[in-house]
Structure 1
């Protein structure tokens, strides 16, 4: 039995801003460590390669959290679910901040990732509470908050870690989450679930949804590869800037987040382009721009100016592709929106976790050019699969094969 979500209050402009802020503050927790990895490694007496486990375990935790909790958005009150997960997230931030050994940091980072689900529940939550004619604007607005959080988290943590200590970053994040959660509890509307399904049925239906929706499979593959390449860059940047070629401290790596933010904030222009030419065209353009960024990193990355240009292109491309892919998957049936989002986000973090780890190994073995090669290859695959005609795509062929079985 299905029915529409019903809100007790309309989604006002102030509430939309609140949701975007919550997206940014929540997702920031997963990225504070990246510019601090060398400093944390020295403090805990851990090698650069071993420190690569921290972002990888965080990404794996997020993927697991999305799989476990995200589908519940189709069958429970989203507001209550988000508040419960944010409360758990505050506890895990305290665990990370209290870590005194590498082992404790590893498992607390994984738990922190497990509870970093709110920023992925918020866009479909807002979409459910918005009329169809403004849904693209709403999800695009939250996407800006999402990417601003990812990029500015590095800036904040770079400075705080340099002038205070890496632990302080997480205590400040904890306080910020408490404030934003209190505002959300006071102002966010409620929504009634669209379906009456058991949790087991809900999870089993994920495979069916994935196999039946070729657009979802393509979006998840594309963004997983792009997000993985994105994480490969940011995981390696702090190590690269500390080399004798630059000899720069952690907060400089964080400052690149501000540069990337300029690119990310320009991406809503692609939303308008998607309205005119279609989101599929905007995805192709976004992946092409991201691919160009890796060419810049490869040939001009030995200079700060080259890194700056590359960061602008990378963040513009990945944000444009993300917004356009969301526009594609949110056109699918509204009663499966949380499960569609679950599968899409799982694609992101499968790529993010895999390439974060591969990036630290590439860095340890081959340095900056190893990281650039990894990022270029992943992004090239993402671009190619979107330019291949639909019937010949691997994602389409695989889906048809399993449905036939």
Structure 2
């Protein structure tokens, strides 16, 4: 009598929630400094312009981590890599919180930003270690944590600053990250790619993947354009809300921004729908919502409730696009998920940075109407990229009618 083949062990919901919390802490840590710039400049005796450079340092460090560290998830044991990166990011948070001058602060913020890409190791890991029929749900749940962390970071940083000074949030975050890292080490199963690539070959393969996977190109373009549209809002909303039309203070503006948390929490639902084969439908509806949101935001120029409605819709739209993009690319080459994610997320954040810059220019020359027009144009371009992705998918199915079709 032959021994039965052992059944694969998949991640449980509590472990996925733990991974979601870890992702939120890692990603959110890069946004702590944004509401604290004035306090940092006063405390360290530097100009606000120099303090604002910490925002750039965090973003550049994160981008470097996406390109040069995240692909290592396809080489090293993933649990060790993710936990190790979290520990290093926590050390960066401690350095930031204990900084006595701007150089020490830059070093801490840069270190935290570089190694906070542990979140982008955990996201594909959730897909790898989940049942194939539930991978979309797993990615959506973990991404909900990541996005919620980003959205809550500014408000939490401001609150803790009021309690114990600007450095408090960095020290508290560092402690919590170490605790979560220790629990993840105990709870996560071992996971390693069956292929052993050299580091240089892994980096070179990023360009190979981009060249050989047309749906990676179209989905990366969709993600970048969609995030650019939303970033045009994030870079200018404070200017509108603090202006004469609304006259809100920093605390009130932060509370308005929390509306986006509801959109982030919907990411899990988008993943569940993708598992049911409705990814194409969710993506199309999300693109329509992205365009619609800019109409609501335009009405929000003089009416706060219209603005809040637009904020909610635009976050729902972004998460619908983003989660289905990741579910789709992870299914292209399961053995290269970390590298696929690195390519996609690099495009995603390039789009975000471009949208922020263009949003500021549109505000300068066209006011809120100019910003809304830019956002709508980027939404239309996202729709065009979605149409191109549909054509690519149809062409792949036509050329390989007997192959398995990926249903995002």
**Fold shared, TM-score > 0.5 on shorter chain:** yes
Q: Are 1:150 and 2:173 an aligned pair?
A: no
Q: Report 1:173-192 matches (<5 A).
A: 173-192=173-192
Contact 1:227 1:351 in 2 (8 A): yes
Normalising by structure 1, what TM-score? Answer: 0.84
By relative contact order (CA 8 Å, sep 6+), the higher-ranking structure is 1
Q: Are 1:123 and 2:123 an aligned pair?
A: yes
Rounded to whole Å, the distance in 2 between the matches of 1:52 and 1:388 is 39
Q: Quick one: structure 1 residues 387 and 105, their matched pair in 2 at CA, closer, same or farther if it must change by over 3 Å?
A: farther
Rounded to whole Å, the distance in 1 between the matches of 2:35 and 2:310 is 17
- Indicate the residue corresponding to 1:302 in structure 2: 302
Any idea what SS the aligned residue of 2:14 has? helix
Q: Are 1:291 and 2:291 an aligned pair?
A: yes
Q: What CA deviation, in whole Å up to 9, does each residue of 1:296-338 have, x standing for no partner?
A: 2223233321221111011100111111111211211211111
Structure 2 unaligned runs (5+)?
1-5, 397-408
Q: Which moved more, 1:12-21 or 1:30-39?
A: 30-39
Normalising by structure 2, what TM-score? Answer: 0.83
Q: Quick one: structure 1 residues 323 and 258, their matched pair in 2 at CA, closer, same or farther if it must change by over 3 Å?
A: same
Rounded to whole Å, the distance in 2 between the matches of 1:363 and 1:95 is 36
Q: Are 1:137 and 2:137 an aligned pair?
A: yes
Rounded to whole Å, the distance in 2 between the matches of 1:162 and 1:359 is 30
- Indicate the residue corresponding to 1:219 in structure 2: 219
Structure 1 unaligned runs (5+)?
1-5, 397-405
Q: Quick one: structure 1 residues 108 and 298, their matched pair in 2 at CA, closer, same or farther if it must change by over 3 Å?
A: farther
Any idea what SS the aligned residue of 1:29 has? helix
Q: Are 1:208 and 2:208 an aligned pair?
A: yes
Query: How many residues are matched?
Result: 387
Q: Report 1:2-401 matches (<5 A).
A: 10-36=10-36, 44-46=46-48, 54-98=54-98, 108-162=108-162, 164-276=164-276, 278-363=278-363, 367-388=367-388, 390=390
Rounded to whole Å, the distance in 2 between the matches of 1:226 and 1:52 is 26
- Indicate the residue corresponding to 2:3 in structure 1: none
Q: What CA deviation, in whole Å up to 9, does each residue of 1:255-305 have, x standing for no partner?
A: 234321223323444344445564233222212212222222223233321
Instruction: Look at both structures and tell me which one has the larger radius of gyration over its CA atoms.
Output: 2
Contact 2:140 2:272 in 1 (8 A): no
Contact 2:223 2:348 in 1 (8 A): yes
Contact 1:242 1:248 in 2 (8 A): yes
After superposing on structure 2, the runs of 4+ consecutive aligned residues of structure 1 that deviate more than 6 Å are 6-9, 100-104
What is the CA distance between 1:68 and its match in structure 2?
Answer: 0.7
What is the CA distance between 1:102 and its match in structure 2?
Answer: 6.6
